[in-house]
Amino acid sequence: MAGTTVLGRLTWRAAQVVGLRDESPTARTLVLDVPSWPGHLPGQHVDVRLTAEDGYSAQRSYSIASAPGSRLELTVQRLADGEVSPYLTEELHEGDPLELRGPIGGWFVWRPEAQEPVLLIGGGSGVVPLMAMVRTRRANGGAVPMRLVYSTREPDTLLYRDELARLGERDDGLRVDLVYTRRAPQGWTDPVGRLGAARLAALTPRAGDQPASFVCGPTGFVESVANLLIDQGYRPERIKTERFGPTGN
């Protein structure tokens, strides 16, 4: 399939920043123009490389947030002790170049031609690759039932708030459920706290449906949710996971 190849050498490309969008006080979306971008599948990531004047370079992986299209979007969560994310979220300007390579990854991907129902569960910035799946479904006018359960700390840390609200209200087979773990907006009636067994069971399809499931977030979140899904009767081979490490809110 053209544009989604996972064969051949990855080459570093000089992207250009054509837009910046703050998603939360600590997360920013970089809108990039990437010459000769071969296209991507939702769920894939890119490697970004920063090189200092003295030659020192640092490399990190970032999930692609956008559906395949003319622009590539990455949403970057700033880590307080980070080496790369503070630069990307605070110092990068429109018009700046950015070195990246990709798309990378052939396993944690959703293929939009698949007809089976999809369950997406994201913790913190783990929602980013799942957002690419939601957007791809929408861009394709897809009718595949898709549910997104998105756990975030508080209203301030919620990414894509307006877009998720809009998409969730369309009633076209996409359902979006938010879980606040520390503090919810005023008037919120659902429980506040970590996604435990009872809450997860209430928000996910019956195990018998065995949807194609994608879980992404901090390692502790992913381990917990994947184990709870298996306890619910989901088959492990139906659950694809991606872990960001100890942090990643």
For the chain, how many residues are written?
249
Check binding of 126 to other proteins (CB under 8 A): no
Cβ at position 184, least distance to other proteins in Å: 21
Among 17, 92, 101, 175, binds other proteins (CB under 8 A): 101
Strand partners, 197: none
Q: Is 181 in the site for other proteins (CB under 8 A)?
A: no
193 binds other proteins (CB under 8 A): no
Residues 6+ apart with CB under 8 A from 221: 123, 124, 126, 151, 195
219 binds other proteins (CB under 8 A): yes
Judged by CB under 8 A, the number of residues near other proteins is 27
Q: In what order do the strands lie in the sheet with 72-77?
A: 57-63, 45-51, 97-104, 13-24, 27-33, 72-77
> Exactly one of 9, 25, 35, 93 binds other proteins (CB under 8 A); which one?
9
**Binding mask of the shown chain, residues 22 to 61, with x at each position contacting other proteins by CB under 8 A:** -----------------------x-x-------------x
What is the rounded CA–CA span in Å between residue 8 and residue 55? 27
- Tell me: does residue 12 bind other proteins (CB under 8 A): no
Nearer to other proteins by Cβ, of 175 and 194: the residue is 194
Contact between 244 and other proteins by CB under 8 A: the answer reads yes
Residue 101 dihedral angles phi and psi, to the nearest 5°: -140, 150
- Measured in whole angstroms, the distance separating CA 113 from the mean position of its chain's CA atoms is 19
Q: Which of 77, 152, 241, 249 binds other proteins (CB under 8 A)?
A: 241
φ, ψ (nearest 5 deg) of residue 26: -125, 10
- Taking CB under 8 A as the rule, does residue 2 contact other proteins? no
User: Is 243 a binder of other proteins (CB under 8 A)?
Assistant: yes
Q: Cα 95–101–106 angle (5° rounding)?
A: 135
Rounded Cα distance between 193 and 63, Å, is: 26
Radius of gyration of the chain (CA): 18
Tokens of 20: 């910046």
**H-helix or E-strand spanning residue 129:** helix 127-139
Residue 26 or 181: which CB sits closer to other proteins?
Answer: 181
Q: Which of 42, 68, 102, 123 binds other proteins (CB under 8 A)?
A: 102
Among 218, 229, 234, 249, binds other proteins (CB under 8 A): 218
What residues line the site for other proteins (CB under 8 A)? 6-10, 45, 47, 61, 101-102, 104-108, 218-220, 223-224, 240-246
